[in-house]
Amino acid sequence: MDNGKLSFKELAILALKEANRPMIASELWEFVLNNNLHYQLDSFDIQTKTFFGKTPEDSFKSQFASSKRPECVAVVPNTKPQQYILKEQFKHNSISKQSALPTNIKKSAFHERDLHPVLAYFLKHSDYFKSYPKTIFHEESSKGQKGEDKWLYPDMVAVNFEYANYQKNNVLPFIEKFDISPIKIFSFELKKELNTSNYKEYFFQAASNSSWANEGYLVALYIKQDSQFVEALQKLSQSFGIGIIHLNIENIEKSAILSPAKFKEKMDYSVVYELADKNPNFKQFLKTVTDFAPQSPERFSSEFDEILTEDKLQEYLNTTLQAACK
């Protein structure tokens, strides 16, 4: 490090730490640029906003070659193209004994919807999502033929207002006039448990009701502790682009994206229309996203799910889990 500036190796480590999820080298370089991490490079001139070298992206990617890769960087097994993560993060992102529910909790004693406040907290505070969540109540949907809409409705949706980061220097008015305001829409299917007997059904349920969104995820509180099982999950994730999130109720901030979702540039508006036509929660979600004003986000807070404070969330969890233990 020179005068507080970073080498490409140090930048690669910083980017992995900030991203806090598995990424391929090209995605990580995009993350660097989107978050202005390259401003810290010793080969970047802040005044002219130019790199000294001609191929900074290649120089960055070369840090992940086996001959140069820092010892603290791990390759995520069975990923093509290869994904990378810090070894210390890999321990948190891997399935461990802490991912199991306490033995005295009766899984049948609480509902999947009891996990919504936990996921809402994670989505709002996660460095990756930084999003506003909303529960979709299936029971409020208009009734179709039996089984017609079985896998249509996600459990939760969320939005990240990327354009809210561009309020200074006249950037936001420029975007609003000449471009579509950049946002990202997420869809989530929540389950209490993933195991060998249910994971395929649950995965394809998530793939079905999240196909319309920019990113779709299958979320679970408990995931079978078996390397072959986790590998099978990750293969499905990579094949169909549905991400996998493990909720950690013992330390919610340690909840992890075990496998990233594939980002889709264009949403499936035919499905969006069907969801809005049949479900009032989703219809209102679209209106809130459209009307949202980044200058005064508090005006719209009541139209999303409530984000509990850390203390209130812990109190909620204690109450919920105590009831499940009886």
Residue 112 lies in a domain: yes
Q: Give pLDDT tens digits for 106-115.
A: 555 578 889 9
- Which CATH number does the domain housing residue 41 bear? 1.10.10
Interval 237-267: pLDDT, tens: 888 899 999 998 878 877 888 888 988 888 8
Residue ending a domain, choose from 93, 128, 162: 93
Last residue of some domain: 93, 122, 144? 93
Question: Which residue range is the domain that position 66 belongs to?
Answer: 8-93
- Residues 108 and 210 reside in one and the same domain: yes
Verify that 109 and 212 share a domain, yes or no.
yes
Q: Does 1 map to a domain?
A: no
From residue 72, alpha-carbon distances to 9, 69, 85 in Å are 11, 8, 9
pLDDT band at 1 (very low <50, low <70, confident <90, very high): very low
Residue 3 lies in a domain: no
- Angstrom distance (rounded) from CA 96 to CA 92: 8
Q: Is residue 227 part of a domain?
A: yes
Long-range CB contacts (< 8 A, 24+ apart) of 251-254? 252/118, 252/121, 252/122, 252/313, 253/122, 253/125, 254/92
- Same domain membership, residue 184 and residue 274: yes
* Residues 87, 159 within the same domain: no
Final residue belonging to a domain, choices 66, 93, 120: 93
7 pLDDT above the threshold of 60: yes
pLDDT band at 134 (very low <50, low <70, confident <90, very high): very high
Indicate if 115 and 68 belong to the same structural domain. Answer: no
Count of domains for the chain: 2
Tell me whether residue 156 is in a domain: yes
Indicate whether 78 and 130 sit together in one domain: no
Domain assignment of residue 22, yes or no: yes
